[in-house]
């Protein structure tokens, strides 16, 4: 099954800006206790401090905090924000709805269209599911085709896009990732399946990921 939505680049930039702004609003709801719990799940809590291997991981950690971490009440920051705020712009409301229904997975990048700024993805955790996403940054990365990517996909009426913090891997680690991520998940004691899966792939990215690409 394929899901392809392509939009005007200027309109995409407007939507992406709304997404960035919304994420900054949502992050304000993060409590210190939640930060510690979420950081421990990711394996980046050292003593009382969050310690990251490189600066580029900041966006990836924030993406986890916003979309994947579930607090003791079982809610994500996105869900908490949705309950508390209704005074949003039309674009922010669309992005919020997209985030509420978004999901993450491991994908193979099967094609890149630099003109349309799109990439085609094959879902490796949900066979026969393909999706086309628009991403100005990713579509400009050289030799992207064939790489693996763990990412959250946000689907709006006009466009599919990543949440902006992809984890990229070389193709040769596919079998290793598929074999190791369930074991990593089993060692994480907090959160639901989606949270544990995201934390597991972040940990695998720290060891096997293509961090030198520096995509943010």
Encode pLDDT of 153-184 as tens digits.
Answer: 999 988 999 998 899 999 999 999 999 999 99
Encode pLDDT of 17-58 as tens digits.
Answer: 999 999 999 999 999 999 999 999 999 988 888 888 888 899
- Judged against a pLDDT cut of 60, whether residue 64 lies above it is answered with yes
What's the pLDDT score for residue 4?
Answer: 54
Chain mean pLDDT for the chain: 92
3-state SS, the chain, equals CEEECCCCHHHHHHHHHHHHHHHHHHHCCCCHHHHHHHHHHHCCEECCEECCCCCCHHHHHHHHHHHCCCCCCCCCHHHHHHHHCCCCCHHHHHHHHHHHCCEEEEEEEEEEECCCCEEEEEECCCCCCEEEEECCCHHHCCCCCCCEEEEEEEECCCCEEECCCCEEECHHHHHHHHHHHHHHHHCCCCCCHHHHHHHHHHHHHHHHECHHHCCC
What's the pLDDT score for residue 205?
Answer: 97
What's the pLDDT score for residue 49?
Answer: 86
How many domains are contained in the chain? 1
What's the pLDDT score for residue 214?
Answer: 46
- Please, which pLDDT band fits residue 215 given cuts at 50, 70 and 90? very low
Taking residues 99-104, report their average pLDDT: 97
For residue 170, give its domain range: 2-213
């Amino acid at each position: 099954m394929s899901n392809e939505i392509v939009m005007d680049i200027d309109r995409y930039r407007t939507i992406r800006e709304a997404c960035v702004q919304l994420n900054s609003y949502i992050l304000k709801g993060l409590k210190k206790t939640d930060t510690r719990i979420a950081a421990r799940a990711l394996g980046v809590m050292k003593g009382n401090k969050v310690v990251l291997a490189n600066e580029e991981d900041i966006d990836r950690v924030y993406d986890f905090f916003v979309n994947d971490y579930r607090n003791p009440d079982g809610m994500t920051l996105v869900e908490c924000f949705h309950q508390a705020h209704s005074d949003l712009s039309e674009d922010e409301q669309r992005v919020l709805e997209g985030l509420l229904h978004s999901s993450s997975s491991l994908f193979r990048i099967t094609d890149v269209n630099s003109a349309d700024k799109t990439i085609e993805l094959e879902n490796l955790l949900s066979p026969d599911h393909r999706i086309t996403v628009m991403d100005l940054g990713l579509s400009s990365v050289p030799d992207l085709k064939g790489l693996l990517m763990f990412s959250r996909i946000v689907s709006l009426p006009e466009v599919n896009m990543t949440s902006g913090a992809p984890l990229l891997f070389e193709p040769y680690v596919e079998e290793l990732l598929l074999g190791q991520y369930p074991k990593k998940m089993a060692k994480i004691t907090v959160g639901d399946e989606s949270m544990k899966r995201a934390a597991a792939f972040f940990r695998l990215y720290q060891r096997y990921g293509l961090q030198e690409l520096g995509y943010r």
